[in-house]
Structure 1
Amino acid sequence: MQKPLSIPPRHGALDHRYRGEHPMRTLGYLLRPDRGRLLLAVGVFVVKHSPVWLLPLITANIIDVVVEHQPESSLWANAGALLVVLLLNYPLHLLYVRCVGSSVRRMGTALRDALCRRMQQLSIGYHARTSAGVLQAKVVRDVETIEQGVQQSADMGLAAVTTLVGGLAVIALRVPSFLPVFLVVVPLAGILVMRLRARLRTHNESFRQEVERLSSRVGEMTSLIPITRAHGLERAALGRVDGSVRQVYFAGLRLDLLNGRFGALAWILLNTLGVTCLAGSALAAYHHWMSMTAGDVVMLSAFFTVLTGSMTTLLGLTPVISKALESVRSAGEVLQAPDLEINAGKAEVEEVGGRVDFEDVSFGYEGADGPAVEDFTLTARLGETVALVGASGAGKSTVLNLLIGFIRPTSGRILLDGTDMATLDLRSYRRFLSVVPQESILFEGSIRENVTYGMGDAEDLDEERVRAALRDANALEFVDRLPLGIDTVVGERGSRLSGGQKQRLAIARALIRNPRVLVLDEATSALDTRSEALVQEALARLVRGRTVFVVAHRLSTIQGADRIVVMDGGRIAEIGTHEELLNRGGAYAGLQPARRAG
């Protein structure tokens, strides 16, 4: 049984090491752990690829045996040597693929690992500014491009270099007087072919752009089909797409014709130069201008074609390498991003009492006209529920992000049980905190796995503990009706569940962790009346004995809070209970009609 490839160790230093250096140095660093394996791969490749440049030499030797009536044993010796090298190709090729393939895959795994861990270290502000699709493309597509670039450069580059070096070495030893001709003509032939390809690349780009335009038009057409049908505009819609279809047709036809011209010209050029080389070497041998045999003439002609092809391959690797290096730079944008949440060296949080103090806290977002929160001072005691209300943009979500530690105050401080949170390891603090957001976030797994996410192996947790959390979250009544109960898969982002069901699972996830600090961010705003009632009942169990911060859209959540903090323009406008604020007739009372309408 074949031994499985070992998983590479984590390259923990990579994410801290990348500092905008040249991508080739980064690639060298990534491949450094496998340098011995790669050196072995190069040696193996030279041997396995030797038939390509040995064949013209052995062919020349066999022709000379026939023409000059040399001993028959020489013929068998040459044929036998080539046969042995050919038979060795199979095991050597497998060894080469194993060495290079495992090294490239290890490199890709190390880079993906570094990118994913760096994303976990980057601040929430960075993730708010950077598209999730862009980050996903860096981990998946850019790393795949790097892997493919390194693999192709190794396969095609080694083949071309080995052939060039081996062929020129044979010519230098066998017909040294002809070597200068090859050193001049072969590179020129390769450059001429690449010049022709450059024109082809421009037309390829033009064709690609036309196809992208057509794709955009078709996407637009399909999205507008309801409006198109409703207004009888099918003919107009087809007319818009038809123009793009015709452009793709003409661009494709131009590309096909250019491909045909390029293929014919390249074939004529290379074969003309090959015939010229053959005729020139034949004349040199015929007139005894150089010391050459009939076999040498055939060898030189064969080598011209082989070496020109190798030179063209090397020149053609340029866009492949450039694309891979650009992907290294793209990954480097994440690896060198400075916007990190720094927890190293800070005090671990072993327990949380639940008291939170905001002392003259202010925070402003980069590029904003003014602070999102200004001079915010508030104390929340253990077991107290504090509701934050106010118009959109009043600063409520910013306060919650400050509490969670996603952002840090630009001035003032936040104390957790009397300790400045700036001195604490926020990762350890968040073990005692749970968040129930407006839209619960589930992954494609079972209900059990979603509820116990982050608590170790879900199968090892006591099932009754999971069921108790689901029961307290009013979720057990629908979970038990599902085909597989708590082992039912919820689908991507919980697509098989309703909004209320997903929200109750989010509450169960919070309950099972027994948090000391709880954040409810618009937890019921997107639910219908029945679902809201079930969720509110579950939330009532969840908030007992915990410090709770609530941002809510509906009065039913706000009315039961111990204190309601009304915010306006990032500042605290007033604080009190629901009845106190209504009787005061201030900003909170002014919000009531709008809230009832909502």
Structure 2
Amino acid sequence: MKENKTSNRSFLRLMKTTRLPKAAMSAGLAGFLITTLVSLAIPLLTRSLVDGFSVSSLSAPLIGAIAAAFILQAAISGVSNYLLSYSGQKVVAELRGRMWRKLLRLPVSHFDTEPSGGTVSRVVNDTGIVRELISDHVPQFVSGIISIIGAVTLLLIMDWKMTLVMLVSVPVTVIIMIPLGKRMAKISRGMQDETAAFSGSIQQTISEIRLMKASNAEADEEKKGVAGIGRLMQFGLREAKVVSLIGPLMNLVLMTVIVCIIVYGGVRVAGGSMSTGTLVAFLLYLFQIIMPVTSFAMFFTQLQKAKGATERIIHILGLEPEPGQTGISADVAGKPVTLDRVSFSYNPEEPVLNEVSFTANPGEMIAFAGPSGGGKSTLFALLERFYEPDSGRILIGDTPISRVSLENWRRQIGYVAQDSSMMSGTIRDNLLYGMDSTGRPEDDKLWLAAEMAYADGFIREFPDGLDTEIGERGIKLSGGQRQRIAIARAFLRDPLILMMDEATASLDSHSEAMVQDALSRLMAGRTTFAIAHRLSTIVDADKIVFIEGGRVTGIGKHQELLRTHPVYREYAEQQLV
């Protein structure tokens, strides 16, 4: 009970923080109120028509009133449905916008542990459940309450004895619907969680389709997918069982009450204590009472689903964004970058870096070398501020970079990875990715950057040039072409700090030569950090930082380390001889 109250408060709190279009929502609910009141008048008009029915006594005003009631009900109902759908769409759009903005500003560490498919499900499916509740089920619930109260009041005025006979069905219906509704809510929440997990698994498999096929893993993925589909089917069958119980049971109750009213009402009509029109009106009001009661089960089921979705939405909205969203602006030009006894671990019991210290002076090339798993990529992640050090400081000049705003810091960094990431879209889109739309360069600057990166040649060979679609993650381009576009993008950003993660490691000799020349142009006059798996690419570095087991075991130029560092000398003898 306590948990249910907490979830109710969470749901209401979320709704209060959402800019609900009150005018549209109020007008829509008012429309539903009007149509409900009109529907309550229709049985009374029908009674008058039936009781006085004869061809000669047909009243044009009465027929016109009934026709007008139907037309008015239809027109207002259409407008109300649109206004409530509009309200629901506005709410879900705002929730999705808030969640998307929050997700974009969460630290990388969040996505290290959260499956992407589950996150997508929260943004798309959970907010959709909230929309359905607001647009569909709340209006039906409100109109149902009004319809029941109005119908019962009118029936008591018309004939209280017959009303009591009919009202016997209400507690029977409630007794049936409450346990079934709770069961349906539990099944629905399980279905939500299983759908999120299944979506994440499918998304991961599709995104790594080449790895899957290259590994002959079709059978394994088929087995996993079929298992997930089977679990979803089981939830669907459990839901179908409840629905298959609700429908027949409600029909049984409805038909039993109808028969009882017809028999009892027929006796009353035959005895002259009730008119035929009153009996017809009773039957019409019966439907106006039973049908809303039936829909209440779906309302409470959807409410439970929405409360579950709300908990997950609130969880995302309550997460802390990356530290440093606000801060000072700092120009890194002419200032050294210093790591002062920096330590870091992804898990407290598994340290990755241990008191790493070095200084990169303006314009220097600093190369990181050492065994795999030593912490070189983690150093890059700390310099990019994907993570914050557990202890120690990273300084630009005398200023800790933690005081600099993330936007300002990252704007001054250019990153070229071993397998440069591309976004779906055109070459132009990828060159301009992340740049301010108000200050984007003209095509001549794009071509100049492409020329500096030795990318203009192959771009001009495409029929659409800069507007060539490159496919998901740039799959239509070769590795060398993707690297050169990444370098051209870095030229356009004109960064003061350049970071390279062995940008030529996976290229053929021809592409490597072109990319290396382009990188040499890009490095000129910039402070450069480079991860080196092949020492041949860093022999001319101003400093080589050798990292083993998260510790710096040597700093110096190539010739200096050859003399003083046995492990480096061993690496050099293996690779450079």
Q: Same fold (TM over 0.5)?
A: yes
Q: Measure, in 2, the Cα distance between the counterparts of 1:183 and 1:21.
A: 30
Structure 1 residue matching 2:333: 3-state secondary structure: coil
Alignment CA distance shift 1:44-1:523 (3 Å):
same
The answer as to 2:303 corresponding to 1:306 is no
Identify which range, 256-265 or 561-570, moves more after superposition: 256-265
Which position in structure 1 is the counterpart of 2:3? Answer: none
Which position in structure 1 is the counterpart of 2:318? Answer: 336
Cα drift, residue 594 of structure 1: 6.2
Residue by residue, what CA displacement relative to the aligned partner does 1:165-205 show, whole Å, maximum 9, x if unpaired? 33223213333454444444224235436767888999999
TM-score normalised by structure 1 residue count: 0.82
- Mapping of residues 207-222 of structure 1, within 5 Å: none
The answer as to 2:394 corresponding to 1:447 is no
Q: Is the 8 A contact 2:324 2:403 kept in 1?
A: no
What amino acid is the match of 2:138? A
Q: Measure, in 1, the Cα distance between the counterparts of 2:195 and 2:403.
A: 55
Query: Percent identity among equivalent residues?
Result: 28
Q: Pick the aligned partner of 2:341 from 360, 368, 388.
A: 360
Which position in structure 2 is the counterpart of 1:53? Answer: 40
- Mapping of residues 470-485 of structure 1, within 5 Å: 470-485=450-465
Q: Pick the aligned partner of 2:385 from 376, 381, 405.
A: 405
Structure 1 residue matching 2:368: 3-state secondary structure: strand
Alignment CA distance shift 1:246-1:46 (3 Å):
closer
The answer as to 2:281 corresponding to 1:293 is no
Identify which range, 569-578 or 136-145, moves more after superposition: 136-145
Residue by residue, what CA displacement relative to the aligned partner does 1:324-353 show, whole Å, maximum 9, x if unpaired? 222222122211113532433x21225533
Q: Is the 8 A contact 2:185 2:302 kept in 1?
A: no
Which position in structure 2 is the counterpart of 1:349? Answer: 330
Q: Measure, in 2, the Cα distance between the counterparts of 1:186 and 1:273.
A: 10
Alignment CA distance shift 1:225-1:439 (3 Å):
closer
Cα drift, residue 277 of structure 1: 2.4
Q: Measure, in 1, the Cα distance between the counterparts of 2:387 and 2:542.
A: 26
Structure 2 residue matching 1:41: 3-state secondary structure: helix
The answer as to 2:490 corresponding to 1:490 is no
Q: Is the 8 A contact 2:45 2:62 kept in 1?
A: yes
Alignment CA distance shift 1:467-1:322 (3 Å):
same
What amino acid is the match of 2:91? M
Q: Measure, in 2, the Cα distance between the counterparts of 1:473 and 1:571.
A: 35
The answer as to 2:485 corresponding to 1:505 is yes
Structure 1 residue matching 2:544: 3-state secondary structure: strand
The answer as to 2:569 corresponding to 1:589 is yes
Structure 2 residue matching 1:480: 3-state secondary structure: helix
Cα drift, residue 159 of structure 1: 4.3
- What's the C-alpha RMSD, in Å, of the aligned pairs? 4.3
Residue by residue, what CA displacement relative to the aligned partner does 1:432-453 show, whole Å, maximum 9, x if unpaired? 1111122222212221121112
Alignment CA distance shift 1:205-1:95 (3 Å):
closer
Cα drift, residue 419 of structure 1: 1.2
Which position in structure 2 is the counterpart of 1:319? Answer: 301
- Mapping of residues 162-561 of structure 1, within 5 Å: 162-192=146-176, 266-284=250-268, 286=270, 292-338=274-320, 340-344=322-326, 346-350=327-331, 352-365=333-346, 367-457=347-437, 461-561=441-541
Structure 2: any 5+ residue segments left out of the alignment? 1-5
Q: Measure, in 1, the Cα distance between the counterparts of 2:227 and 2:106.
A: 46
TM-score normalised by structure 2 residue count: 0.85
Which position in structure 2 is the counterpart of 1:22? Answer: 9
Structure 2 residue matching 1:434: 3-state secondary structure: strand
Q: Measure, in 2, the Cα distance between the counterparts of 1:124 and 1:27.
A: 26
Which position in structure 1 is the counterpart of 2:63? Answer: 79
What amino acid is the match of 2:133? G
Cα drift, residue 576 of structure 1: 1.3
Which position in structure 1 is the counterpart of 2:136? Answer: 152
Q: Is the 8 A contact 1:150 1:324 kept in 2?
A: no
Alignment CA distance shift 1:343-1:224 (3 Å):
closer
Q: Is the 8 A contact 2:84 2:134 kept in 1?
A: no
Q: Is the 8 A contact 2:341 2:354 kept in 1?
A: yes
Q: Measure, in 2, the Cα distance between the counterparts of 1:207 and 1:420.
A: 48
Residue by residue, what CA displacement relative to the aligned partner does 1:256-287 show, whole Å, maximum 9, x if unpaired? 99987875554344212211122233445555
Cα drift, residue 227 of structure 1: 7.3
Q: Measure, in 1, the Cα distance between the counterparts of 2:192 and 2:312.
A: 22
Q: Measure, in 1, the Cα distance between the counterparts of 2:232 and 2:97.
A: 41
Q: Measure, in 2, the Cα distance between the counterparts of 1:240 and 1:543.
A: 47
Cα drift, residue 161 of structure 1: 2.8
Structure 2 residue matching 1:364: 3-state secondary structure: strand
Structure 2 residue matching 1:477: 3-state secondary structure: helix
Which position in structure 2 is the counterpart of 1:9? Answer: none
Structure 1 residue matching 2:53: 3-state secondary structure: helix
Aligned length: 562
Q: Is the 8 A contact 2:333 2:362 kept in 1?
A: no
Alignment CA distance shift 1:310-1:486 (3 Å):
same
